[in-house]
Structure 1
């Protein structure tokens, strides 16, 4: 019996794709091929990730990300209300203009984990909901483009939703995100 290959950035991207495939199976399939991964590779990566997350004596979330993704490319200080926290960013080769961001409280407790636009990289111009394309924008970009977007509970732990109004038509919509990346727009 051989030891499993190390769990690294490629396998982590497969974990991201596993959840995204629920809403965008064709995009996830193309990305899986880009990673030269089989469906079995995707399932195994997800199984191993879930085992790490649920391990009774496993690493804490922040240590788990560092062990899988290495040292972050960038660490920024952020204020959330009265608290100062760290935002750690790692490159994600499938989405070169994005970074995987983990927001950690003092002491290392992870508050949030999702994809964000890389610092200094321009996002898409979002002037109406017709500009929203799957995998083109992040939660933060959509919230800024459609004020006052209202956060809503997502349908799974790695999902977010925003209630928004199209400024061009006044129609209400719900934008759904997986790991912080836009997936689909629903009638609101």
Structure 2
């Protein structure tokens, strides 16, 4: 049976473990089995996951809360890397942090010059090989990021996500026999959750 958080235990600072639980909580809507395995790997209970999410929501909605960019720095510490990036006509800064649960990925936050956060998601770590994506069979849950799927099955069209941390892609991909299908993929925090054939 899942243990309950100890109400007498002092609340520790919200840190990388807690953020991973927040990411997992949203992913559980699509892949509860993968999330359950990850939860056991982290050695935490369902109650711990709920509590991390409660604390995260409180941080997001606190009138005295930090700005989003400062909030991630307070939770994750100094970024592993900070890179200037140009997207279209706009300059931004990409800050990346490692998360133990996904060693080949990085949690990336894109910030505008005024410090506003434009995007927050998981991306492939610099130097980590991208997954081989050739057919529908390769698109398994948690196998790739948004940009990797978009490049592998270009041209891909963005789809509106069903929640703030979700993205969608529409594209054409072959099955194992080479028959091409119209597909839609859904991503949570930038990581693939499910793919559906739209025909």
2:102 matched to 1:92? no
Task: Pick the aligned partner of 2:186 from 172, 176, 179.
Answer: 176
Distance 1:111 1:136 in 2: 24
| Structure 1 position 83, deviation (Å) | 1.5
| Structure 1 position 3, deviation (Å) | 3.1
Task: Pick the aligned partner of 2:135 from 128, 137, 146.
Answer: 128
Instruction: Report the equivalent of 1:26.
Output: 33
Distance 1:187 1:54 in 2: 38
1:83-139 deviation digits (Å, cap 9, x = unpaired): 111000000110000000000000210000000000111111101121111111000
Aligned counterparts, 1:76-87, within 5 A = 76-87=83-94
Provide TM-score, normalisation by structure 2.
Answer: 0.92
> CA RMSD of the aligned region, Å?
0.9
2:147 matched to 1:137? no
Once the two structures are overlaid, the 10-residue window that deviates more, 111-120 or 76-85, is: 76-85
Instruction: Report the equivalent of 2:18.
Output: 11
Instruction: Report the equivalent of 1:55.
Output: 62
Number of matched pairs = 188
Distance 1:119 1:169 in 2: 33
Distance 1:76 1:130 in 2: 34
Structure number with bigger Rg: 2
Distance 2:61 2:129 in 1: 37
Residue 82 of structure 2: SS of its match in structure 1?
strand
Task: Pick the aligned partner of 2:157 from 147, 150, 156.
Answer: 150
Runs (4+) of structure 1 exceeding 4 A deviation are: none
Structure 1 unaligned residues grouped into runs of 5+? none
Residue 171 of structure 1: SS of its match in structure 2?
strand
Structure 2 unaligned residues grouped into runs of 5+? 1-7
Provide TM-score, normalisation by structure 1.
Answer: 0.97
